[in-house]
């Protein structure tokens, strides 16, 4: 596996898992093999490239594998990533995370292992690298490109928040599952005449709360881009409930949503390699406050709540149709770029058209909901107007 060729492609998946990753890997692999390339699957995202030991006697099966059509065909119909993933940032590796064989050379509190990553790519024999991930994973891919590595990228995140593209792999399945689960849960909300609080993913961007609400799954939504007034939210939800013949109302809550004058809620102080603490708890807090404040808007009578965190249920399992088709197209485009000798690009969907843009777009800005254009801050739900010439999922990459 150390013999250098001029036709070797490496592919990796980083960050959170989503349905659609395996179809993207398959799309690259099947055609690349047909074109005469060897394809290497790098395991556990960037982690496989820092844990690798450059010794032919060492078993690196946990760090990379050669891909075949048989392997990718079998995996492509399933969710998650068969290459596995991690939230590793090679340019900022904690001392405790430095691999044993490198501890003698890297002993700082935070260490940049980029030189090792580049040497490892060369040792495996990889000439072209395809990184699939969100803005964290792809920001390091952009860094590698600046260091001279031939990199192209595919956007993946259920939050749909990678800049430069209207669509990211995993988003459609996430929205589909959220709508389906909300519709299932509403039978309990109606049976007990309660207000239902559903917390969904979305650290800085509220797309995963906005689209299901826009589709009618929830009455209201609160998103990271606009701190909400809890009294106003309570009043609206009580009115929604009392106007509903089934006597319930639903609010979709992004995990990064904030009370007016408040801050994001975290499970603990521990942070990942990209400096992100694990979010959690805003749904619990909203649920408790809604019950506490509800008598104020319900003739003195308290209204109970149902509080459910959808979490990983919307990112697991098989991909839907869109997350089977788009990854195929993205993977094919990434290989097309390699065949043309083009690198440093992010494949994208913009205004319903497949395209590619410079990879450094992922570090140039943030992709968030345009509140003025898409979110009614008085009624706390999406704006339903002026859809002409907008893309499939309405809220484009600005």
Instruction: Tell me the sheet residues that pair with 345.
Output: 152, 358
d(CA 365, CA 158): 18
Beta carbons of 220 and 375 less than 8 angstroms apart: no
Residues in the chain: 398
Query: Could you confirm whether 376 is annotated as catalytic?
Result: no
C-alpha 102/C-alpha 290 separation (Å) is 53
Other Cβ atoms within 10 Å of 304 Cβ, number: 12
Q: Which one of the listed residues 51, 135, 159, 161 is annotated catalytic?
A: 159
Q: DSSP letters along 165-233, please?
A: -S--BTHHHHHHHHHHHHHHHHHHHHHTT-EEEEEE--SS--HHHHHHHHTTS-SEEE-TTSPBPHHHH
Please choose, from the candidates 303, 178, 321, 212, the residue with its C-alpha nearest in 3D space to the C-alpha of residue 249.
Answer: 303
Token pair 């992922």 in the structure block, residue:
362
Q: In the numeric block, which tokens belong to residue 50? A: 């820092």
Half-sphere exposure of 40 (CA within 13 A, CB side): 28
Six-digit token string for 158:
């259920």
CA distance 272 to 281: 18
Beta bridge partner(s), residue 130:
11, 152
State the DSSP H helix or E strand holding residue 334, giving kind and residue range, or none if neither.
Answer: helix 322-339
356-394 exposure pattern, b = at least 16 Cβ within 10 A, e = fewer: bbebbbbeeeebbbeeeebbeeeebbbbeeeeeeebebb
The conformation of residue 215, written as its DSSP 8-state character, comes to T
Q: What is the DSSP letter of 95?
A: G
CA distance 344 to 164: 14
User: What is the CB-side half-sphere exposure of residue 46 using CA atoms within 13 A?
Assistant: 30
Spatial distance between the Cα atoms of 209 and 201, rounded to a whole number of angstroms: 8
> How many whole angstroms from its chain centre is CA 225?
17
Q: What is the DSSP letter of 227?
A: P
- State the catalytic residues: 159
């Amino acid at each position: 596996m150390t013999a250098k060729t001029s036709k070797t492609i490496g592919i990796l998946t980083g960050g959170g898992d989503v349905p659609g990753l395996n179809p993207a890997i398959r799309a690259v692999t099947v055609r690349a093999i047909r074109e005469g390339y060897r394809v290497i699957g790098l395991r556990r995202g960037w982690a496989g490239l820092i844990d690798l030991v450059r010794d032919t006697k060492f078993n690196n099966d946990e760090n990379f594998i050669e891909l075949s059509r048989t392997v990718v065909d079998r995996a492509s119909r399933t969710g998650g990533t068969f290459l596995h993933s991690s939230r590793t940032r090679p340019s900022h590796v904690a001392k405790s995370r430095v691999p044993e064989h490198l501890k003698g050379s890297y002993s700082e509190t935070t260490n940049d292992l980029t030189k090792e990553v580049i040497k490892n790519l060369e040792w495996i024999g990889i000439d072209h690298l395809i990184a699939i991930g969100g803005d964290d994973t792809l920001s390091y891919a952009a860094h590698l490109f600046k260091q001279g590595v031939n990199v192209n990228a595919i956007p993946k995140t259920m939050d749909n928040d990678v800049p430069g593209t209207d669509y990211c792999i995993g988003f459609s399945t996430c929205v589909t599952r959220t709508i389906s689960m909300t519709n299932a849960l509403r039978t309990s909300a109606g049976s007990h005449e309660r207000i239902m609080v559903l917390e969904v993913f979305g650290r800085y961007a509220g797309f995963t709360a906005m689209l299901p609400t826009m589709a009618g799954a929830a009455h209201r939504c609160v998103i990271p881009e606009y701190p909400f007034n809890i009294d106003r939210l309570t009043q609206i939800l009580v009115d929604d409930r009392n106007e509903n013949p089934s006597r319930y109302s639903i609010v979709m809550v992004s995990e990064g949503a904030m009370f007016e004058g408040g801050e994001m809620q975290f499970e603990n102080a521990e942070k990942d390699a990209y400096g992100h603490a694990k979010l959690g708890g805003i749904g619990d807090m909203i649920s408790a406050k809604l019950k506490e404040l509800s008598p104020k808007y319900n003739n003195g009578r308290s209204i109970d709540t149902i509080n459910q965190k959808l979490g990983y249920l919307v990112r697991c399992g098989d991909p839907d149709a869109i997350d089977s088709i788009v990854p195929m197209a993205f993977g094919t485009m990434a290989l097309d770029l390699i065949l043309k000798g083009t690198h440093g690009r992010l494949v994208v969907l913009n205004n319903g058209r497949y395209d590619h843009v410079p990879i450094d777009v992922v570090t140039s800005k943030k992709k968030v909901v345009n509140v003025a254009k898409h979110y009614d801050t008085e009624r706390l739900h999406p704006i339903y107007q002026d859809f002409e010439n907008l893309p499939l999922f309405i809220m484009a990459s600005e």
